[in-house]
Amino acid sequence: MTPNQIDLVQGSWRQVLPVAETAALMFYDRLFFLDPSLRALFRSDMTEQRRKVMAMITFAVNGLTRLEQLVPMVQDLGRRHAAYGVRPEHYYTVGAALLWTLQQGLGDSFTPAVREAWTAAYGVLANTMRGAAELAA
């Protein structure tokens, strides 16, 4: 990721934070719309799960400038997700749901450059998680 892409991701995420609860609802609604079978992976309270996903995204977005600190935590997250039953192809669905949510929430602020920056950021994170999960298997 370029420094400009990191700035775009972090700046656009700051716009999402005031409506984080709504964004999380939209994200999971879209995720389960795209792949209803994923609902079975979530056995716990969805209110808590929505809080966790927003906290994790915030942590990751803030950590983009400190990848050496972020990567080990993302790798651990990937290993845990594999244990929960997350398969490599699920990462594509999650990415699609995330980008859709950002587009809906940011509206005109979700420019092609912002989309590209988020796509790059998600790619780094998802590939890191998948790689760690594959090594753990």
Q: Where are the domains of the chain?
A: 3-136
> Residue 125 pLDDT more than 90?
yes
**For 3-136, which CATH class?**
mainly alpha
How confident is the model over 17-21, as a mean pLDDT?
A: 96
> Residue 131 pLDDT more than 80?
yes
The region of weakest confidence among 21-30, 110-119, 127-136 is 127-136
Query: How many angstroms separate the CA atoms of 129 and 95, rounded?
Result: 13
Cα dist. 36→68, 80, 87, 99, 103 in Å? Answer: 35, 21, 14, 18, 21
